[in-house]
Amino acid sequence: MVARTQRRTAAAASTTRKPAAKPAAKPKASAKPAPLKGKAYRSAGEKGTIYDARRYVEEKVLPKQTDALKVFHHAYDRWGKVGQDQWISTNKSGGNFGEGFYTSTKPELGYGQYEFDVTIPLSALEGKKILEVTDWILPDNFRMPRGVSVLAVKQYDHTWFVFKPRSEDWLNTVTTERRWDRAGERPGT
């Protein structure tokens, strides 16, 4: 009887044992980030899409360059001295998108012979938002979304960036270059 009880106890113990632990899962190789998605926005009958500024620039504007965004502003007259850092003001230009500081990723000599270079580190775009629009004219009653002060418009192989009012302090703080080209300096450098 003792032997039978010992066998039953041993059999019961073997069925209640915990299974062997599974080997730890191998860490996955770094996955690609999710595709860039924006949030639809509409004002005064016009459509746009709000994007994270850094990802927008990295993926839609400069897919091969990842350290800084270089943009150019052209004017018929200079404000400030050549070769020295100058304060950027949204009152210096205007156009189809209302008041703002208009820049492009390629020189736009049709807007003036004098080129003003602006360089923005991509790290400075972290946490900022950009509104991309597709129309080249926005109505006067168009309103920028809350928390967005940069407008982007794609045109062929380059992008226009319009820094709207109230973005000057941030723009002047984060730029690593904001100066007029010297005489004879090649546009776009």
Residues whose CB falls within 8 Å of the CB of residue 21, separated by 6 or more in sequence, listed in order: none
Domain with 49, as residue range(s), is 41-180
Number of domains in the chain: 1
Within a domain: 123: yes
Cα–Cα distance for residue pair 71/118, rounded to 1 Å: 5
At 96 the pLDDT is 81
Q: Is residue 130 part of a domain?
A: yes
Q: What is the pLDDT, as a whole number, of residue 101?
A: 92
CB 148 within 8 A of CB 166: no
Phi, psi of 60 (to 5 degrees): -105, -20
137-179 pLDDT, tens per residue? Answer: 888 889 999 999 899 999 888 999 999 988 999 999 999 999 8
d(Cα 101, Cα 188) in Å, to the nearest integer?
Answer: 17
Q: What is the pLDDT of residue 34?
A: 82
- From the number of C-beta atoms within 10 Å of its C-beta (0-12, 13-18, 19+), residue 30 rates as exposed
Residue 184 zone, left/alpha/beta (φ > 0; ψ -120 to 50; rest) = left
Q: What angle do CA 159, 149, 53 make, to 5 degrees?
A: 55
Question: In this predicted model, what pLDDT tens digit does every residue of 12-22 receive, in sequence order?
Answer: 555 555 555 66
| Ranges of the chain with pLDDT below 50 | none
Residues 21 and 135: their CA atoms lie apart, in Å, by: 60
pTM: 0.77
Please say whether the beta carbons of 131 and 144 come within 8 A: yes
Contacts 24+ apart (CB under 8 A), 164-173: 164/90, 164/98, 164/99, 164/100, 165/90, 165/99, 165/100, 166/90, 167/90, 167/101, 168/87, 168/88, 168/89, 168/90, 168/101, 170/128, 171/88, 171/101, 171/118, 171/120, 172/87, 172/88
pLDDT of residue 133: 94
End-to-end CA distance of the chain: 97
Q: Among all chains, which residue has been given the structure tokens 């924006």?
A: 38
Those residues with Cβ within 8 angstroms of residue 157's Cβ, 6 or more apart along the chain or in another chain: 106
